[in-house]
């Protein structure tokens, strides 16, 4: 699963504000249209969620999966939030990250994602699906933060 897809967006808010929205998993069903339910399963004691379970309904792909998060972020919100798949029904792998960097009066968010599913799928179709996931997620994140 070496191939991955990546895209960036500018958000008119400080990195800390963007990070707060990313870390507020309980609110995802309110603004991430394909996420139907989120449950924080554990925290490492540093205040950041460690393992999070998602119920996803993305049309052709419906799954409940658990991600393990790593929060390599500074107090101002800059840095990298990354995740790896712990378990799922349809997904075989899902590794991704948000990188938050200051940009002018706001934040550049770069989303990297590599997904693999248990059903056979051409690499080209996987990359296209990743691109749709990333573009949708970035637009919805921008709308939530700036809204």
Q: Residues 117-143: what's their mean pLDDT?
A: 75
The predicted pLDDT at position 122 comes to: 57
pLDDT greater than 80 at residue 133? no
Please name the residue that has the structure tokens 């990188």.
99
DSSP secondary structure code for residue 105 in this structure: T
Each residue of 105-123: pLDDT tens digit? 899 999 998 887 776 655 6
Mean pLDDT, the chain, integer: 89
pLDDT greater than 80 at residue 125? no
Task: Give me the phi and psi of 104, to 5 degrees please.
Answer: 60, -125
Q: What domains appear along the chain, each with residue ranges and CATH number?
A: 5-146 (3.30.530.20)
Q: Is the pTM of this model over 0.75?
A: yes
């Amino acid at each position: 699963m070496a191939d991955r897809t990546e895209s960036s967006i500018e958000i008119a808010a400080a990195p800390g504000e963007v990070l707060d929205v990313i870390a507020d998993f309980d609110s995802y069903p309110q603004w991430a249209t394909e996420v139907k339910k989120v449950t924080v399963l554990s925290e490492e004691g540093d205040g950041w969620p460690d393992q999070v379970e998602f119920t996803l309904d993305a049309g052709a792909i419906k799954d409940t999966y658990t991600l393990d998060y790593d929060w390599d972020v500074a107090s101002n919100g800059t840095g990298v939030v990354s995740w790896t798949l712990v378990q799922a029904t349809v997904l075989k792998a899902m590794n991704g990250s948000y990188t938050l960097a200051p940009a002018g009066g706001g934040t550049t968010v770069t989303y990297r994602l590599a997904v693999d599913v248990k059903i056979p799928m051409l690499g080209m179709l996987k990359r296209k699906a990743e691109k749709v996931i990333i573009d949708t997620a970035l637009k919805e994140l921008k709308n939530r933060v700036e809204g």
